[in-house]
Chain A
Amino acid sequence: MVPITPSHYLVLSAALFMIGVIGVMIRRNIIVVFMSIELMLNAVNINLAAFSQQWQNAVGQVFAVFVIAVAAAEAAVGLAILLAFYRNKDTLNVDEMNSMKW
């Protein structure tokens, strides 16, 4: 059997990232769209950890920690915006979020 190389992890990460992109494109419920974004950030973390192991260099893991911090901040602010929006418009459908559209 082929040994597991970083390219295996790259393909897995690309596939997970694509699942996230497809989720953003086909779903209309904004909570699911946010979760798809989390999936994409996770895919990036897999990449960073795989290369960190390949080079035996922990800097990749340090960056993954930063990515997790940014993801936490993004989730908090995004969900707060979502709540404020829901209070005003009573909907979670991204198609109806067009009041700033020209």
Chain B
Amino acid sequence: MFEATFFYSLAALVLGFGVMVITARNTVHSVLFLVANFLCVALLFLGLGAEFLAIIQVLVYAGGIVVLYLFVVMLVSLKGVPEGQGSPRRRAQLGFLMSAAVLAEISAILVYSARHPGNVPAAPAALQGGNTETVGMLLYTNYLVPFEVASMLLLVAMIGAILLAKKEI
């Protein structure tokens, strides 16, 4: 009962903040709604037993990336950000068409899976040790090479960002 309430209220918050991100007129409000959305998703991760992921979500997304967005919003002048020419109604229609297609797709999947109750195998025994310990062990043993590649990617991205954003090289 508690689990269901937890999930449904968090899902409503996540989707509500998501909608507000894309509908807010003011870009700064958009960024703030994005923070709220990220925090709700982090709570969702906690409910899924992924504590490490939840902390990373708060640190990297809600802490780092959002500050980057706020800096950019501060650096560019948003006075003249128009919502563009071209009829907004046509664009909205396109978006709703797209969402209707996905809604149909999801319903089709739900109907299909209700008809074919596949045999979900019982989950294996719970992992030993804490969540952070398990994820760290995997990161530094089986997934060491992707981990190093990711760090390389971040280094390259950092250099590239500095190079691109600099006025005079």
Number of interface residues of B (CB under 8 A): 85
Main SS at interface, chain A:
helix
Contact A53:B48 (CB < 8 A) given known A21-B98, A73-B153, A80-B165 = yes
Within 8 A of A (CB), among B110-169: 110, 113, 120, 123-127, 131, 134-135, 138-139, 142-143, 146, 150, 153-154, 156-158, 160-165, 167
Main SS at interface, chain B:
helix
Binding site for A on B (CB under 8 A): 1, 3-4, 7, 11, 14-15, 18-19, 21-22, 27, 30-31, 34, 37-38, 41, 44-45, 48-50, 52-53, 56-57, 60-61, 64-65, 68-69, 72-73, 75-76, 78, 80-86, 88, 91-92, 94-96, 98-99, 102-103, 106, 110, 113, 120, 123-127, 131, 134-135, 138-139, 142-143, 146, 150, 153-154, 156-158, 160-165, 167
18 A-B pairs besides A46-B45, A49-B50 with CB distance below 8 A are: A4-B3, A12-B15, A19-B21, A29-B83, A31-B73, A32-B22, A35-B21, A50-B48, A58-B127, A58-B135, A62-B143, A66-B150, A68-B56, A69-B153, A73-B153, A77-B161, A93-B84, A94-B84
